[in-house]
Amino acid sequence: MGEERLEGLLEENRVFKPGAEFQAQAAVQEGKVYEEAESDRLGFWGKAAERLSWFRPWEKVLEWEPPFAQWYVGGKLNASYNCIDRHLAGWRRNKAAIIFEGEHGDSRVLTYQNLYREVNKFANVLKSLGVEKGDRVTIYLPMIPEAAIAMLACARIGAPHSVVFGGFSAEALRDRINDAQAKVLITSDGSFRRGSVVPLKENADTALAGAGSVEHVIVVQRTGSEVHMQEGRDLWYHEQMQKAAVECPPEEMDAEDMLFILYTSGTTGKPKGVVHTTGGYMVGVSTTHEWIFDLKEEDVYWCTADVGWITGHSYIVYGPLANGATVVMYEGTPDYPAKDRFWEIVEKYRVTILYTAPTAIRTFMKWGPSYPESRDLSSLRVLGTVGEPINPEAWIWYHTYIGRERCPIVDTWWQTETGMIMMAPLPGLTDLKPGSCTVPFPGVKVEVVDHDGQPVPKGSGGYLVVREPWPAMLRTVYGDNDRYVQTYWGNWPGIYFTGDGAKWDQDGYFWVLGRVDDVINVSGHRIGTAEVESALVDHPAVAEAACIGKNHEVKGQAVAAFVTLKEGVETRNGLVDELKAHVAKKIGALARPDDIFFTAELPKTRSGKIMRRLLRDIAEGRALGDTTTLADASVVQTLKEQYQE
Q: Which residues bind ligand WT7 (CB under 6 A)?
A: 264, 310-311, 386-389, 411-416, 437, 498-500, 512, 514-515, 521, 524, 526
- DSSP symbol at 588: B
Tell me the closest approach of the beta carbon of residue 149 to ligand WT7, in angstroms: 23
Contact 538, 563 (CB under 8 A): no
The DSSP bridge pattern shows strands 60-65 and 556-565 to be: unpaired
Q: Please tell me the distance from the alpha carbon of residue 343 to that of residue 74, in angstroms, as a whole number.
A: 46
- Residue sitting closest to ligand WT7 (CB): 416
Tell me the closest approach of the beta carbon of residue 365 to ligand WT7, in angstroms: 18
Tell me the closest approach of the beta carbon of residue 586 to ligand WT7, in angstroms: 19
Tell me the closest approach of the beta carbon of residue 306 to ligand WT7, in angstroms: 11
Tell me the closest approach of the beta carbon of residue 357 to ligand WT7, in angstroms: 8
Q: Please tell me the distance from the alpha carbon of residue 121 to that of residue 537, in angstroms, as a whole number.
A: 46
The residue among 217 and 439 lying less far from ligand WT7, judged by its C-beta, is: 439
Query: From the CB of residue 307, how many other CB atoms can be counted at a distance below 10 Å?
Result: 24
The residue among 198 and 520 lying less far from ligand WT7, judged by its C-beta, is: 520
Distances (CA, A) of 486 to 92, 447, 595: 45, 20, 32
Tell me the closest approach of the beta carbon of residue 519 to ligand WT7, in angstroms: 8
Q: Please tell me the distance from the alpha carbon of residue 100 to that of residue 107, in angstroms, as a whole number.
A: 5
Q: HEC states along 235-298?
A: EEHHHHHHHCCCCCCCCCEECCCEEEEEEECCCCCCCEEEEEECHHHHHHHHHHHHHHHCCCCC
Coil vs helix vs strand at 398: helix
Contact 433, 510 (CB under 8 A): no
The residue among 170 and 310 lying less far from ligand WT7, judged by its C-beta, is: 310
Tell me the closest approach of the beta carbon of residue 511 to ligand WT7, in angstroms: 9
Q: Please tell me the distance from the alpha carbon of residue 289 to that of residue 302, in angstroms, as a whole number.
A: 12
Contact 149, 142 (CB under 8 A): no
The residue among 189 and 447 lying less far from ligand WT7, judged by its C-beta, is: 447
The residue among 72 and 414 lying less far from ligand WT7, judged by its C-beta, is: 414
The DSSP bridge pattern shows strands 300-303 and 326-330 to be: parallel
The residue among 308 and 332 lying less far from ligand WT7, judged by its C-beta, is: 308
What is the number of helices (H) and of strands (E) in the chain? 22, 30
The residue among 264 and 278 lying less far from ligand WT7, judged by its C-beta, is: 264
Tell me the closest approach of the beta carbon of residue 436 to ligand WT7, in angstroms: 9
Q: Which residues of 336-360 are buried (b: 16+ CB within 10 A; e: fewer)?
A: eeebbbbbbbbbebebbbbbbbbbb
The residue among 371 and 441 lying less far from ligand WT7, judged by its C-beta, is: 441
Q: Please tell me the distance from the alpha carbon of residue 61 to that of residue 68, in angstroms, as a whole number.
A: 14
The residue among 430 and 521 lying less far from ligand WT7, judged by its C-beta, is: 521
Contact 217, 230 (CB under 8 A): yes
The residue among 123 and 472 lying less far from ligand WT7, judged by its C-beta, is: 472
